[in-house]
Structure 1
């Protein structure tokens, strides 16, 4: 398995989960583009959590390719 395929396989579930969550959380009809403060803070929370998840996944991927130094 190539390096690109390993990364794609690792990130794919997280990307699908984020996109699915955004679709579910967005209202069906936004009146004049208005989002209440609760929706904005929820969106910011999802972005921060996604960034943290990507950081942890990246850490695991980099750890797989580092040589152990003994």
Structure 2
């Protein structure tokens, strides 16, 4: 699933792929107290995001995109 997180006072957004479900990510971010939220992508990298700096979270679909040509 693709995740995009908007950060306050930043022109860029944090974008990564993860194996977690939308429900897991949503509950993790909403339940986090003030401080850092730890998120891990599908490659094993860990991102620490200040909970108070998150302006939006966009969670992509769980389905993978099809590759190829349509005839």
Same fold (TM over 0.5): no
State TM-score, norm by structure 2: 0.31
Structure with higher strand content: 2
The structure, 1 or 2, with the larger RCO (C-alpha pairs under 8 Å, 6+ apart) is 1
Structure with higher helix content: 1
